[in-house]
Amino acid sequence: MNISRARTIAFDVLLRVAKQDAYADDVLRAELDVSVKSEDAGLATELALGVLRWQRLLDFLIDRYLKNPADVADAEVRIALRLGIYQIYFLDRVPAHAAVQESVELVKRARKRSAANFVNAILRKAAKESFPEDSPADIVARLLPAEMPLAERLGIQYSHPTWIVERWIRTFGEERTRGLLPANNGVPVLSGYLLDLQRREEATQSLRKAGCRVQPGRLLREAWVLQGGNPSASEAVRDGWVAIQDEASQAVACLVVVDPGNVVLDLCAAPGGKTLLLSRAAGAQGHVVAADLHENRVRTMKERFKNAGIRNVETMVLDGATPIPFERPFDRTFDRILVDVPCSGTGTLARHPEIRWKLRAEDLGDLRQRQARLLRNALPHMAPGGRLVYSTCSLEPEENETVVREVLTTFAGTFQIADPRMGLEGFLQESVHAGDLVGADHFFRTIPREGGTDGFFCAAIEWRKA
């Protein structure tokens, strides 16, 4: 039996995530080239990301049929079972027999032929017991013991680690957490923006040719929402006319409020999506320094700018967590600075579902220390009258407002948190108000369930006025 290309791609992506600590989005982007049909690209993406989002629930369903969960020690066998169970319980359009048979063939393809009968037996049992009229989360809820602690119950039902559910209940309360968990398992909106404004019609046609429907942004006036198709295979994306980026991420660059002619520092710039927006706003007379810690990422970013025809960006390898060498002979200050720090990524769990299985509670402390160093080192390089934006794609307070407040106290009142609403209003759709995104504390926040975007945090910082 031939295995569909979509399933082999999904299996290979999941195996690389499990064995090589890869990120599914990166592997999918590399795999889904122009040779992959649009329908295969869609199913491969659905299978790979769907299995990662629902991994804990899928394992709960699988383990019900095992005398000992350790019986499935091989990653290849576990992944084949997850793919089969996911199709049986989540995909109405896939016949159960096809899900079973192709999962068996995937095991054989992975040179685990001895497990083929085992996989076949497990998935046939699951196919007989599935209840298509009920959601998988509802089915699992009925199977869980009534005395199970709430965080563990919700963690299994909505496929999140218990420790994340526990901290979100403490931080956001039970009601908001119950909304956030299923939002992280939904398919996120795919957004982008037109970088080359002279190619609007050409870019639109290219995306449509790749099977994409182009809709106006939900949050920002200049954003596009892309539905269906394989945008990565379009000429518009390949040649850099259009950049794929979540609208909340685009909003971060808007909050920097770059004016034509500004000198700008993007301290943690890779992969460069926000840098492109900063570059466009700075114009031909402006200059952007795009720095990153990793030389390979800087090389890739530099190539991206070259392909997009960007000429006002200077790239450099730089560890912003150490004192930044913008003294002599550089002798630079910057009108605008973006410090988009490495973070836990808990605002992007729908888009990058593997994060929830990689992240550990103790990682937050290490991240917080690095984030504070990055912000502390960047602030002295802001020109008088300038503006710095600190941002994360995290929902965790210790990576966000706690870092900002603690760092600012070390500067003895030199800097202040600015209200970003005035700078943001001009970028928003008419139906969206800046006050919906900026709290009374002047921090910008988006929440996946509430805004239809990834979860982002931003603080705008300026020199304190006398």
| Residues labelled as active-site residues | 393
d(CA 115, CA 96): 19
Comparing C-alpha atoms, which of 267, 409, 412 is closest to residue 325? 267
* Residue 420 tokens, joined: 């970003």
3 state SS of 439:
coil
User: b vs e for 147-163, b when ≥16 Cβ sit within 10 Å of the residue's Cβ?
Assistant: eeeebebbbbbbbbbbe
Amino acid at 378: A
CA gyration radius for the chain? 24
d(CA 234, CA 211): 9
* Residue 217 tokens, joined: 């942004």
Residue 284, burial from CB neighbour count under 10 angstroms (0-12, 13-18, 19+)? exposed
Place of tokens 């040719």: 209
d(CA 348, CA 460): 21
Please count the residues of the chain.
Answer: 466
d(CA 191, CA 157): 29
Contact 423, 255 (CB under 8 A): yes
Query: Cis peptide before 149, with omega less than 30 degrees from 0?
Result: no
Contact 83, 14 (CB under 8 A): yes
Contact 462, 387 (CB under 8 A): yes
d(CA 102, CA 98): 6
Contact 253, 340 (CB under 8 A): no
3 state SS of 457:
strand
- Output the CA–CA distances (angstroms, integers) from residue 15 to 32, 35, 161, 359, in the order listed: 16, 22, 20, 18
Residue 367, burial from CB neighbour count under 10 angstroms (0-12, 13-18, 19+)? buried
Amino acid at 188: P
